[in-house]
Amino acid sequence: MPSRRATFTPSMPVYGHDIPSSAARAAIRRAAPGPFWLDDVARPAPLAALTGAVTTDLVVVGGGYSGLWTALQAKERDPGRDVVLVEAHRVGWAASGRNGGFCAASLTHGDANGEQRFPLEMPLLRLLGQRNLEGLVETVERYGIDAQLERTGTLDVATEDYQVADLVQQVAESDGELEFLDQEQVQHEIASPLFRAGLRDRTGAVILNPARLAWGLRDACLSLGVRIVEGSPARRLWRDGDQVVVETDGGRVTAARAALATNAFPSLLKRVDAFIVPVYDYALMSRPLSDAELASVGWSERAGLGDVGNQFHYARLSADNRILWGGYDAIYHRGGRIRPEYEQRPETFERLAHHFQLTFPQLTDVEFTHAWGGVIDTCSRFSPFFGTALGGRVAYVAGYTGLGVGSTRFGAQVMLDLLDVPERGETELTMLSMVRRFPVPFPPEPLAYPVIEATRWSLDRADHTEGKRNLWLRTLDAFGLGFDS
């Protein structure tokens, strides 16, 4: 059996844009071009599209996590409320069926980001985030959702010496909920020649099968009487007296209230688009590991893994012991375009495979069965923002920046509270400054593309200069702007 103990080498920095090896190219040669999670016999059959005109109490636009949680909780709050959910393609088709399956308690894209932006509210936001995660797990259990949920927690690893001090500082500021792992300890947890130290969080996240979570929420919604239509792109939204109208390709929905959960895709409210940048993220899924291969890595506690670079990787084990390996490249296309062909990016897949083999040289012979990309919605504060329109009859949320598996449930609660304000008044959630304040908008095109590319280049340089942020990054920091995946 191969040894789990890795041998360290001095050739650092470890990740870069060097030319992938022939072994990396061979590892992805037979990978199917599509998300592993959606390639599942458990995927439900499509639902019918909307035809004609319907009337309802609440229309939800978007069949990802945000829309599903909104529809489900709307019915749980008021079983007599009629709810229609409109999805352009199929439920869970977009980011909800393509992500890594990391479900975190954080509502602010990590404590450091939250402390910078909402310092006075962070104790409450941490509490709300942990309650939200517990509520998600309880919902999965109550509805019998087969989401392959595991309470593994996460392990963040330093791959450069300068990153170790930051992990030590995070532990010192964590009130005991985080554990620092030195080089020997992190190697015992997951064996890689690149890992210098680790930060173990046992309670702040779970991992799960993201597509099966979406499909389970779909079934839960249907069981409560939510009407879901698929293959029905929403094209227009307007106010008609005391009602709002959503027009789709095949019909229209007239409702007392509307909740918009379109995230990275263009909003029915143009005001939202200035705050959102659609960014493509990419991932690979390996074949199942043999017992000997898994033993060579360890990973006995199955924690979700991430490194702490600006351009970071994430990894986790699936239920059948495949390794999902993703991240690093975050690609914005000029004009904010979203196109199916962007979901495949061979140069990124080769780079990911190369980085995987650098991280786990004992698994160089492991091939990948699936390679895919998907678009996520990022905003300048890296955490969701909220708003209302059309006299409070419409609520929206966007900007999850890749951390929406758990926080979309919270976002749905906020939208429902915002829609209820005219009748029931403000709530604890609607009074949050996180809910009341907007992020800084991105510059319009043609400025957005060079700004984002300059930022990506600067973040890459910082990863290769011991984290030193150049003048460009410091300027963006001063104005509350940024770019992250």
Whether residue 368 lies inside any domain: the answer is yes
Q: Residue 208 has which token pair? A: 């799960």
In a domain, 322, yes or no: yes
In this predicted structure, which of 43-52, 265-274, 457-466 has the lowest mean pLDDT? 457-466
Residue 239 located in a structural domain:
yes
Average pLDDT of 202-207? 97
> Residue length, the chain?
485
Query: Which of residues 380 and 484 earns the better pLDDT score?
Result: 380
Does pLDDT of 374 surpass 50? Answer: yes
pLDDT of 482 reads 63
* Residue 46 in domain: no
Mean pLDDT of the chain: 94
Tell whether 265 and 178 lie within a shared domain: no
Residue 166, token pair as written in the block: 């930051």
What are 13's two structure tokens? 């920095």
Does pLDDT of 392 surpass 60?
Answer: yes
- The neighbour count for residue 105, using CB atoms within 10 Å, is 22
Residues 258, 115 share a domain = yes
Q: Is the pLDDT of residue 70 over 60?
A: yes
Q: Are residues 68 and 185 in the same domain?
A: no
> Is the confidence at residue 376, as pLDDT, over 90?
yes
Nearest partner of 201 among 141, 129, 120, judged by Cα: 129
Q: Is the pLDDT of residue 331 over 70?
A: yes
pLDDT for the residue 484 = 54
pTM for the structure as a whole = 0.95
> Would you say residue 47 lies in a domain?
no
Query: Tokens 């059309």 identify what position?
Result: 390
**Are residues 282 and 258 located together in one domain of the fold?**
no
Does residue 408 share a domain with residue 457?
A: no
pLDDT of residue 8: 37
- Residue 6 clears pLDDT 80, i.e. is over it: no
The per-residue pLDDT for 16 is: 73
CA distance 428 to 149: 29
pLDDT score at 147:
98
Instruction: Specify whether 422 is located in the same domain as 301.
Output: no
Residue 118 pLDDT class (50, 70, 90 cuts):
very high
Q: Which tokens is 402 given?
A: 């890749």
| Weakest mean pLDDT among 63-72, 102-111, 172-181, 380-389 | 172-181
pLDDT of residue 41: 97
Do 316 and 252 have their domain in common? no
Which amino acid type is present at position 161? Answer: D
**Residue 327 clears pLDDT 60, i.e. is over it:** yes
386 in the same domain as 310: no
**CA–CA separation, 234 and 247 (whole Å):** 6
> Does 367 share its domain with 301?
yes
Region for 160 from its dihedrals, namely left if φ exceeds 0, alpha if ψ lies in -120 to 50, beta otherwise? beta
Boundary-marking domain end, from 376, 404, 428: 376
| 441 assigned to some structural domain | no
Is residue 289 domain-resident?
yes
Check whether residue 178 and residue 237 sit in a common domain.
no
**How much is the average pLDDT of 262-270?**
96
Instruction: Please give the average per-residue pLDDT across 84-102, as a whole number.
Output: 98
Who contacts 85 (Cβ-Cβ below 8 Å, separation ≥6)?
59, 60, 62, 63, 67, 68, 71, 221, 226, 227, 228, 229
Number of domains in the chain: 3
CATH of the domain at 271: 3.50.50.60
Residue 307: CATH number of its domain:
3.30.9.10
The structure tokens listed for 172 are 């010192």
Looking at the fold, whether 329 and 357 belong to one and the same domain comes out as yes
Q: Which of 324, 349, 376 is the last residue of a domain?
A: 376
Q: Which of 329, 350, 376 delimits the end of a domain?
A: 376
- The tally of CA atoms less than 13 A away on the side-chain side of residue 368 is 30
Instruction: List the domain range (segments joined by +) for residue 353.
Output: 22-30+156-195+277-376
Q: Give the pair of three-digit tokens for residue 271.
A: 């005001």
Determine, yes or no, domain membership for 180.
yes
Domain match, 26 and 174 both: yes
Checking if the pLDDT of 481 tops 90, the result is no
Identity at 404, one-letter amino acid code:
G
> Which alpha helices (H) appear in 224-269, and where do they start and end?
none
- For residue 9, the model assigns a pLDDT of 39
What the block records as the tokens of 261 is 């959960």
